[in-house]
Structure 1
Amino acid sequence: MGALRRQGIIILTYVLTASELTCLFMQFSILPYLSRTLGLDSVAFGYLQTTFGVLQLLGGPVFGRFADQCGAQAALSLSFVAASALYLLLVASCIPSLPGVFLLFASRLPTALMHTLPAAQMVITDLTAPAERPAALGRLGLCFGVGIILGSLLGGTLSTTYGIQCPAIVALVVTLLGAVLSFTCVPATTKEAGVQSAHQGGTKASVFDLKAITRLLLLPSVLPVFLVKVISGLPLGLFLVMFSIISMDFFQLEAAQAGYLMSFFGVLQMVIQGVVIGRLSTRFPEEVLLRSSVLIFAVVGLGMALMSNVLHFCFLMPGLVFSLCTLNVVTDSMLTKAVSASDTGTMLGLAASVHPLTRTIGPTLGGLLYSSYGVSIFGQVQLAVNLLVLLVLWRKPLSQKKGKAQ
């Protein structure tokens, strides 16, 4: 594959990712209002969100193995087809003559196969050299920021102007177009010819082979990095899961003001993950960046424990976003380097399951912490956990040996 061809595929992957994430955040922006229109209370809405998290958690590693075995074209196409099914069911749930609540819960089922971001990460990983990988993966943050800003803006505007079903209809059209582009423009595989032939020459394990997935996770060069990714980011994940409640009760924000704050978050993520991390990755080793993110997590946690209003949180947000983006990009890069090229999709699928794990346990655990101890507990836990992680990293640096799966 020539350099020009590689660059074109990478650019298309960025465009497809940004469009899918825009549709996803459009859906997030209308989902609370749609559920209220259908008569769901807060408890039922919590069940709906938990269903989404559980299905994404279970589907991530399996989707990763599917991507490794069937290639980038099949993986991206499947993800967009699953997204189209979700939005079709959402549109149907808005029709009065149909069982809306049943269709709303049924719309969560395709999310088990909606993993465009891990599929895009696999394509970027396959088509970039290891030294260029952190910067290339970091630029996916631009796609995420575009998704947050455009998705939230379009979701609110379209639903207010044309009805609550309009964002779902637009998302359905966009994801169908994404499926067509994925099938026609993305190559069947983005892995090197030698890697692909070796993969096909061996015994082809099942996509649902849990032993193969577990074997990768337990590699000495994988498990420590994965644990740092999960443990260090969990306290902030709990805070973000509860953020909508915190913004109303603690910060006393109106809906529009909360939207501005999320847009600020999206802009920061675009700048930091799309520009800053790429430059830092060329100057500093990945383990140095990882330790820095954990240290700044701890400092931000101290600030969160002491904050009393939204202005304080705005001052903390650049450090918070930098830590979060650096942790995600660096650990994803380190994990893909720790396994063979034929297993990068599975590894990225495992890495992508961290966020659904937080969304699954977050509403219950975060709600319990918030109701019992207030907002400051999130900062205190983040400070304590990340100081402990930093101490472990300082005393036992992560091994830089390859230790790849054969």
Structure 2
Amino acid sequence: MSGQPPGSMGALRRQGIIILTYVLAALELTCLFMQFSIIPYLSRTLDLDSVAFGYLQTTFGVLQLLGGPVFGRFADQCGARAALSLSFVAASALYLLLAASCSPALPGVFLLFASRLPAALMHTLPAAQMVITDLTAPAERPAALSRLGLCFGVGVIFGSLLGGTLSTMYGLQCPAIVALGVTLLGAVLSFTCIPVTTKEASVQSAHQGGTKASVFDLKAITRLLLLPKVLPVFLVKVISGFPSGLFMVMSSIIYMDFFQLEAAQAGYLMSFFGVLQMVIQGLVFGRLSTRFPEEALLRSSVLVFAVVGLGMALMSNVVHFCFLMPGLVFSLCTLNVVTDSMLTKAVSASDTGTMLGLSASVHPLTRTLGPTLGGLLYRSYGVSIFGHVQLMVNLLVLFVLWWKPLSQKRDKVR
């Protein structure tokens, strides 16, 4: 049964696979935020200074950045089952090494840095996006992809709470061991319940009939990125979201230094962020996507980004930031969902995994460049600089989108 092509799937089975994909994404994101919550404390226990901690974070970002496009091609060539299973196995390896680094009898610093290596293959969210993209009609795709925001919100809320609670009650090793067990379960569910491929039978046969390029074929990945219908949307995703990404990378320091928040208060703020994301992506965006075209939603996200940037430039306390958070979360969610939907529609069905892998590399790019650039900006100009940069960049992007709409560019290509 699991090997049947999607073309022969009944509607009920197709819906069941989509629901299971949401569950798997929520499990993986919960584990991811569990380990995010203990990494700073584990680094302090192992006597890592702020520079070494920055290297640790940068290593994770670089590996995910490099692994995203390659993982996407692997998903296209080997299918959804192999992609999701590989991602969960890689996550299990990461949490195993992370748990081992907590043991005083082992070389903790070496194992902590080694635990970052499997991150190159940890891409459960792009794999889940590929499954949902393959199993939904183009008109339904934005709403279906936006529901992954519920999974992200679950991960932020429960992952942060579980990581803090388990590490406080049972030690730093406990969250890593729990995450190891959960990801092993995810690997088993992926291998036994997800079809070999979720692409249509015609797409699958055409892909198999052609010359099978290497997973590491960088020319094929670059060719896809440089397509006229892809590059403008991808650039909007990168440029418009980068300033807010810088702020999010520096948020832990801003919460401590500028807002003067304790660890528990910062956790509540992150939970508020997660709740907002669940509400906006799970409830609000689905309704908007049925009433407004994607390009209008994209322009609205850029406009709200600019307005929020102005507010961030003027804010002076955490209350101001709480009022700005709904707009910030709306812009982030809308930008990511709409661009992912537009990018998958701009390529053939056999390349959706590669495209989503490229799209997923945007966040690691921010995590790679963000700590250094954000730290320099924060030290030189303070928190307000992030608002000024976000305002100016998004006003420029909005001007370009009004001057040369993306729909015109796609029409010219056709």
What range is the shorter-chain TM-score in?
over 0.9
Structure 1 runs (4+) greater than 3 angstroms displaced: 400-406
**1:234 partner SS:** helix
| Counterpart mapping for 1:177-326 below 5 A | 177-326=185-334
Judge conservation of contact 1:88–1:169 (CA < 8 Å) in 2: yes
Do the aligned partners of residues 19 and 376 (structure 1) sit closer, same or farther apart at CA in structure 2, a change above 3 Å counting? same
Alignment deviations for residues 60-109 of structure 1 (CA, whole Å, 9 cap, x no partner): 00000000000000000000000000000011111111111000000000
Do the aligned partners of residues 403 and 71 (structure 1) sit closer, same or farther apart at CA in structure 2, a change above 3 Å counting? farther
Q: Distance in 1 between matches of 2:329 and 2:189?
A: 32
Alignment deviations for residues 332-383 of structure 1 (CA, whole Å, 9 cap, x no partner): 0000000000000000000000000000000000000000000000000000
Runs of 5+ consecutive residues of structure 1 not aligned to the other structure: none
Alignment deviations for residues 29-73 of structure 1 (CA, whole Å, 9 cap, x no partner): 000111111111111010000000000000000000000000000
Do the aligned partners of residues 247 and 316 (structure 1) sit closer, same or farther apart at CA in structure 2, a change above 3 Å counting? same
Alignment deviations for residues 146-188 of structure 1 (CA, whole Å, 9 cap, x no partner): 0000000000000010111000000000000000000000000
| Alignment partner of 1:370 is 2:378 | yes
| 2:36 alignment counterpart | 28
Tell me how far 1:301 sits from its aligned partner: 0.3
Judge conservation of contact 2:228–2:410 (CA < 8 Å) in 1: no
Do the aligned partners of residues 405 and 101 (structure 1) sit closer, same or farther apart at CA in structure 2, a change above 3 Å counting? farther
Tell me how far 1:399 sits from its aligned partner: 2.8
Tell me how far 1:227 sits from its aligned partner: 0.2
Do the aligned partners of residues 215 and 405 (structure 1) sit closer, same or farther apart at CA in structure 2, a change above 3 Å counting? farther
Under a length normalisation based on structure 2, what TM-score does the superposition of the two structures give? 0.97
Do the aligned partners of residues 400 and 281 (structure 1) sit closer, same or farther apart at CA in structure 2, a change above 3 Å counting? farther
Under a length normalisation based on structure 1, what TM-score does the superposition of the two structures give? 0.99
Do the aligned partners of residues 165 and 150 (structure 1) sit closer, same or farther apart at CA in structure 2, a change above 3 Å counting? same
Task: Please provide the CA RMSD for this pair.
Answer: 1.3
How many residues are matched?
406
Runs of 5+ consecutive residues of structure 2 not aligned to the other structure: 1-8
Alignment deviations for residues 277-327 of structure 1 (CA, whole Å, 9 cap, x no partner): 111000000000000000000000000000000000000000010001000
Q: Distance in 1 between matches of 2:408 and 2:324?
A: 32
Do the aligned partners of residues 402 and 200 (structure 1) sit closer, same or farther apart at CA in structure 2, a change above 3 Å counting? farther
Do the aligned partners of residues 103 and 197 (structure 1) sit closer, same or farther apart at CA in structure 2, a change above 3 Å counting? same
**1:400 partner SS:** helix
**1:131 partner SS:** coil
Tell me how far 1:274 sits from its aligned partner: 1.0
Q: Distance in 1 between matches of 2:333 and 2:210?
A: 37
Do the aligned partners of residues 350 and 405 (structure 1) sit closer, same or farther apart at CA in structure 2, a change above 3 Å counting? farther
Judge conservation of contact 1:60–1:352 (CA < 8 Å) in 2: yes
**2:199 partner SS:** coil
The percent identity for this pair of structures is 90
Tell me how far 1:233 sits from its aligned partner: 0.3
Do the aligned partners of residues 365 and 379 (structure 1) sit closer, same or farther apart at CA in structure 2, a change above 3 Å counting? same
Judge conservation of contact 1:221–1:399 (CA < 8 Å) in 2: no
Tell me how far 1:402 sits from its aligned partner: 6.2
Judge conservation of contact 1:61–1:347 (CA < 8 Å) in 2: yes
